[in-house]
Each structure stands twice: as structure tokens, then as C-alpha cells.
Structure 1
């Protein structure tokens, strides 16, 4: 009797077609593993700076109550910030927080003055839910002084390799005024934080400068 030699041994368990299928599925997994570190490295090379300011007889929106107020003396406000990038594109959503502090060296113990907050960012008007304006408070006099304001939103960040993204910023007047006379130059510190997540943040600083007699506060 003639022996028949099988073309594939049953004990092998895997034929050539199975091996090819496994190789085809392995390629996309390797691609994903390489892409993630590149995106993280790009965020690590990013930067942030305030790149635009405006000085003039500005007309500013009242964020709490509506209407506008026009300055009667030259006032300076930041108008844009820029996200810079190194090698590798950034394409993600970040959280942006803008804080405007109280002016140093100007003390108001009774009554309230206005401060500054974000009227719009990247062309989108702010909403009351995105803004806070917190005054100082005391048991007898109640709330007083200038408000500390915060604004928080999300921002699509799309920056090409070695590119930039300019983000317009418009400030308005926050809080309420009880008619307190401000007879000193006031400088409000502005801090902008862009949070990319996973502990990666970038910070830029600027200021709002209001001279005596501007009639805004």
C-alpha cells in the first residue's frame, strides 16, 4: 500500500491563511501605539503669551445688568493671546480660565466698585454660567471693594507643527458700582490658563490699567 503524505499536518493547529490574518490585524495596533506619544510630545512644546493690547477711550459692556460705559480717559486692556507650538500638530479641546484680580494698593472699605471680566473669547460671548464676580465681605458692611472675577470655557485648539493659534479676548465691566469715587490709578492683574489635561497647563499674564477719572469703575 502506498503512503499518502499530507500537505498539512493536523497537529500544526495553524495554517498559512491564519498567520496572514493575524499579521494584518497587528499593523493598526502598532500604529495607535506610536501616534499617542507624538501628540503628547507636541503639547509639551507649546507656549502661551498675551500678544495684543488696546489703549483708548474704550466702550465696555456691563456684564451684570446690561448696557455700556465709555471711558473718559485712556484705558488699556488685553485683546488677544496666542498659543504657540513646536514640532507636531495639536488637535484637541482645552479648558481656558481667565482670572482678573483686584487692584493692589487701592482699598475700599465701604461700598463697591466695578472690576473686569470676560465679555467674549474667540468670538463667542460669555454667559453668566461661565463667569463669577466675588466681592470681599464683612459682617457689618456686607460686600465691598472690587470683585475678583473668573471665566471658564472650553476651546478647540488646532495648531499645526511650528504654528500658532491667535485667540481674541474682549473684556467688559463686572460687578456693580455704588458710586464710590476712585481717585487712584488702578491696575487689575489678568491671568490666562490653558489646560490641555493630564497636568499640562500653560499660563500667560497681562493687566488692565485704568487711570484716574476714567469713569468706568
Structure 2
């Protein structure tokens, strides 16, 4: 074999080895790329998820008095939210969610003296709320409580939603606080806000409880 032929064989062998090395390196790199792509998909699921109140009930409702054993029957048509829906985006969504439901005081109604009832969560996702999960805070002047209570309900929940799936949670509202017998002459709207914090992302939904004049429950 001539020197030219030997050099040519060595060159071809080196090129073949180099190609094998490149292909082998490419094969090893595939799982790394796949792993790098998985994390953004999980994050996108939380970022694309949404929360909304999706159903209400209107009627002469029998409402539980929170912290007691009684029930008050409305004498006029009261409307309350009854259902909450978590809608997921692409990618599974799983984790422990911190949940807070706040019911505010009705705007445009000023009670400088006396107290009226407000609304709080009686049950969430089929489970009755407890006194430790609820608060009802009135305004105060000279140590005397007055007006409507601002209420909160807090709980935690394990969430597991498939990609592009939904979870529906029933929610029941009851009467919170106490009444000194004040009468209202206008429609009262109590703003309801729920926040769900999961995987560092905060989802929010809003609605309201509507109580007309003559309902006799506040």
C-alpha cells in the first residue's frame, strides 16, 4: 500500500469515528432537552388556570345562622353563589391550595348605630365550616360594634386537575354576626371574593350576595 493510500484510509477512518462520536453525543442530549421542556409545561398549567363562580341560587332561602343551630327563612328572594369552578390549562395541575373566602360589607349602606347580620361560608366542597375557620369583624366606635360584619373563611385543599380539565366545588353561605333589629330600605349587595393560592400563583373569583328589602334575615 502506498503512502497516499495509507493517508487516505486513515482520513476516512477518522471521519467515520468523528461521525459516530457526533451521533452518539446527539443521542445522549435528547433526554436533557426533554427534561428542560417539562418544567415550563407544568408552570404554564398554573398560569393558564382560572377560577370563577359558575352558579347561583335565588329563592326564599332557609339560611343557617353561623355559630348557632338556628335557621332563618327569607321573606323575599335572596340570591347567593352556590358553585365554584377551577378550569385548568395545558398540563396537569397538582398541589396544596390555600383558600380564603371574604364577604365584604354592602356598599352604599351606612349603619352608624346598631348591627345587622352579614354572610359567611357555611360549607365548602361539601364540608361544614368550623368556628376556627371563620371570622366576623364589625366596625367599632368607643368600643361599640356597629354596621355589618366583614367575614372571612380560610381552609386548605389538595388540588389535582388533569390537563384542560375542570374541578367544581359547591359552596354554601349562611348568616354571620348578630342583629339589633335594624331595618333596611334598599337592596343590599354583599361582595364575595375567593382567592386560591397554588404553586405560588393566586387565582381569584368574585360574586355577590343580594338581599332585597323585606327579606327579614339581616
TM-score range, shorter chain: 0.7 to 0.9
Change (3 A) 1:30 1:130: farther
Between the aligned partners of 1:156 and 1:166, the Cα distance in structure 2 is 13
User: How far apart, in 2, do the equivalents of 1:35 and 1:152 lie?
Assistant: 33
The answer for the alignment partner of 1:143 in structure 2 is 145
1:115 counterpart (115, 118, 123): 118
| Normalised TM-score (structure 2) | 0.81
C-alpha separation between the residues in 1 aligned to 2:73 and 2:33? 60
Give CA-to-partner distance per residue, 1:63-111, whole Å, 9 cap, x none.
0332110101000000011000111111211011110000011111111
Match of 2:196 in 1: 194
Where does 1:8-87 land on structure 2 (aligned, <5 Å)? 35-87=38-90
Question: 2:205 is matched with which residue?
Answer: 204
User: Contact 1:132 / 1:151 at 8 angstroms: preserved in 2?
Assistant: yes
Deviations 1:15-40 (A, max 9, x none): xxxxxxxxxxxxx9998776544322
Q: Which has the higher helix share?
A: 2
Pair 1:55–1:88, CA change in 2 (3 A): same
If the length of structure 1 is used for normalisation, what is the TM-score?
0.82
Q: Deviations over 1:162-196 (max 9, x none)?
A: 11101110000000111111222100000011111
Can you give the 5+ residue segments of structure 2 that lack an aligned partner in the other structure?
A: 1-30
Would the aligned equivalents of 1:112 and 1:176 in 2 still touch at CA under 8 Å?
yes
- Consecutive unaligned residues in structure 1, runs of 5 or more: 1-27
2:104 alignment partner in structure 1: 101
Residues 1:158 and 2:160 aligned together: yes
3-state SS of paired residue (1:43): helix
Is 1:213 the equivalent of 2:187? no
